[in-house]
């Protein structure tokens, strides 16, 4: 015999039982209960926060909005996938090559 899922058990409850079951979610959650971080935990947390997001390359990155023919973009995406790099890396690689060619 299969064990009933939580949903099935919940639906078999009376309205009063359901109200009691969901009452724990009616109170506001402000953080999780616990103790303050130690100095070493705070330092670890700060290091982790600094590492979040995109890695900095050179002087950082700038987001661009460009327009490109769809077929050209499809070809670029195929090449990026083939070389196992991102579209941004492919475009940067291509621009660097053009800049070197002068």
Phi first, then psi, for residue 76 (nearest 5°) are -65, -40
Q: Is residue 15 part of a domain?
A: no
pLDDT tens string 25-83? 887 776 667 788 899 989 888 888 776 666 666 777 788 899 999 999 999 999 999 99
**Which three-class secondary structure state does DSSP give residue 61?**
coil
Number of domains in the chain: 1
Residue 79 sits in a domain of what CATH number?
Answer: 1.10.1220
The length of the chain is 102
Q: Is residue 33 part of a domain?
A: no
Q: Is residue 74 part of a domain?
A: yes
pLDDT value at position 84? 93
Q: Is residue 76 part of a domain?
A: yes
Range of the domain at 90: 65-102
Q: In whole angstroms, what separates CA 54 from the centre of its chain? A: 11
pTM over 0.75: no
Q: Is residue 5 part of a domain?
A: no
* Measured distance CA(20)–CA(22) in Å, rounded: 6
Name the nearest CA neighbour of 66 among 99, 88, 89.
Answer: 88
pLDDT class of 14 with cuts at 50, 70, 90: very high
């Amino acid at each position: 015999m299969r064990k009933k899922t939580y949903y099935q058990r919940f639906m078999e409850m009376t309205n009063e039982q359901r109200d009691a079951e969901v009452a724990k979610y009616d109170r506001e959650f402000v953080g999780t209960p616990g103790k303050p971080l130690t100095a070493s935990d705070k330092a670890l947390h700060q290091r982790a926060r600094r590492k979040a997001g995109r890695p900095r390359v050179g002087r950082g990155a700038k987001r661009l909005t460009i327009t490109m023919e769809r077929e050209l973009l499809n070809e670029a995406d195929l090449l990026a996938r083939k070389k196992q790099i991102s579209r941004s890396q492919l475009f940067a690689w291509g621009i660097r090559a053009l800049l070197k060619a002068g």
